[in-house]
């Protein structure tokens, strides 16, 4: 699909971006610029630039950022760079000024690795932190110097065709960078993890964790990585060691016994159901089709059942990213879950 440049705003020369942005704000006194962080998106292809511009416009009400959208086409034979500037605005209340976030869009064709660092660094607001969303395959095209400036690196391992290989590539590319890794595949299970964690707040249910025998997870087609990270969360937090994975079955040793984790693919939400079976309790959480809540049940061996309704995770990329942008933690639990999961991917 050819690039619809009209959605990107006003075309400008790359060298004149800063000057043109000043003109943009000076020309309209009814708008005020709001910026708390640099938000850069790197995507592949022309069509992705239009999609990401629409997505950025949805975040203006909840986040104040200086947006830098970089589209890359490394397969192009000729090296070429085009640029545009734009502003996304909303009116907080009648009579107030429009609050706006600016967007610089750059389309790089050809020698991306050589051009990307300078194009990125020259457009940043250096007084503010940088969140970079790498919205394509693992960044083999990136010069390692880029990561020195990145505070938070957002990516989506659920979209990778070979997650294990691409995690290796990512780690090699990052080197000694201290960028916080923000995996949207992990963010997609946030409410599920919070709901399950709350269920084990009492001594009766907490004791069931130490006698788990089986975990069964139902996930949507293409959502296996999110399901595996959820399994890795249990393994990391409870100190299990993996025996290995065979297809959709993963075996762990708890030190006192074994746990079998079964994954099933079915149409529905990213994680549509999970069941935890222990010696003392069976806990299940399921999400009805199109519902935005979880049905949670706790059953004891005598057949007594306790039911809860809890929030469910959204499958919308806009909602998932919005949730990630609202979090500024170090994601240390994710790193533990990933360490437990990665050898099994």
For the chain, the C-alpha Rg in angstroms (whole number) is 23
User: How sure is the predictor about 4, in pLDDT bands with cuts at 50, 70 and 90?
Assistant: low
Q: What is the mean pLDDT of the chain?
A: 90
**Which is more confident, 294 or 345?**
294
pLDDT, tens digit (0-9, with 9 covering 90-100), for 78-119: 999 999 999 998 878 777 788 889 999 999 999 888 898 899
Element housing 68 (H / E): strand 65-73
Residue in the structure block whose two tokens are 């984790």: 261
Yes or no: say if 139 and 112 are a contact pair by the CB < 8 Å rule. Answer: no
**Tokens for 197?**
């964690």
pTM for this one?
0.92
Res 114: pLDDT:
87
Q: In whole angstroms, what is the distance from residue 131 CA to residue 141 CA?
A: 18
Which pLDDT band holds residue 223 (cuts at 50, 70, 90)? Answer: very high
The stretch 196-222 carries a mean pLDDT of 90
Instruction: Map out the domains of the chain with their CATH numbers.
Output: 5-150 (no CATH), 190-315 (3.30.360.10)
Closest by CA to 268, choosing from 226, 308, 228, 315, is 315
**DSSP at 124:** S
3-state secondary structure of 151: coil
139 has pLDDT over 70: no
Look at 21 and 136; give whichever has higher pLDDT.
21
Q: Flag whether pLDDT at 173 surpasses 90.
A: no
Tokens of 293: 């809540």
Q: What's the rounded mean pLDDT across residues 255-267? A: 94
The CA–CA distances, whole Å, from 322 to 26, 63, 98, 310, 318 equal: 30, 9, 21, 20, 6
Q: For Cα atoms 103, 106, 110, give the angle at the middle one, nearest 5 degrees.
A: 165
> Would you state the pLDDT for residue 2?
54
């Amino acid at each position: 699909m050819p690039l619809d440049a009209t959605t990107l705003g006003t075309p400008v020369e790359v060298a004149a971006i800063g000057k043109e942005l000043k003109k943009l704000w000076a020309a309209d006194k009814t708008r005020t610029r709001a910026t708390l962080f640099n938000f850069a998106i790197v995507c592949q292809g022309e069509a992705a630039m239009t999609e990401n511009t629409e997505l950025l416009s949805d975040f203006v009400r909840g986040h104040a950022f200086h947006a830098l959208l970089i589209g890359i086409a490394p397969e192009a034979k000729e090296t070429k760079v085009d640029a545009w500037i734009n502003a996304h605005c909303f009116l907080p209340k009648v009579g107030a000024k429009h609050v706006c976030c600016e967007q610089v869009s750059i389309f790089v064709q050809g020698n991306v690795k050589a051009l990307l660092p300078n194009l990125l660094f020259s457009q940043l607001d250096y007084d503010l932190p940088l969140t970079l969303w790498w919205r394509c395959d693992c960044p083999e095209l990136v010069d390692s110097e880029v990561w020195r400036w990145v505070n938070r690196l957002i990516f989506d391992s659920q979209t990778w065709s070979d997650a294990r290989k691409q995690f290796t590539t990512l780690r090699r590319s990052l080197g000694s960078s201290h960028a916080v890794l923000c995996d949207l595949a992990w963010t997609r299970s946030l409410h599920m993890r919070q709901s399950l964690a709350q269920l084990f707040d009492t001594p009766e249910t907490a004791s069931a964790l130490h006698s788990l025998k089986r975990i069964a997870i139902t996930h949507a087609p293409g959502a296996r990585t999110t399901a595996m990270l959820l399994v890795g969360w249990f393994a990391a937090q409870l100190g299990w060691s993996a025996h290995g994975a065979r297809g959709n079955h993963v075996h762990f040793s708890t030190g006192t016994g074994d746990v079998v984790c079964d994954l099933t693919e079915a149409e529905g939400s990213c994680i549509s159901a999970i069941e935890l079976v222990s010696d003392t309790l069976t806990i299940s959480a399921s999400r009805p089709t199109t519902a935005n809540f979880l049905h949670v049940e706790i059953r004891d061996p005598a057949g007594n059942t306790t039911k809860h309704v809890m929030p469910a995770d959204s499958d919308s990329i806009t909602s998932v990213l919005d949730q990630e942008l609202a979090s500024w933690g170090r994601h240390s639990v994710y790193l533990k879950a990933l360490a437990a999961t990665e050898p099994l991917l």
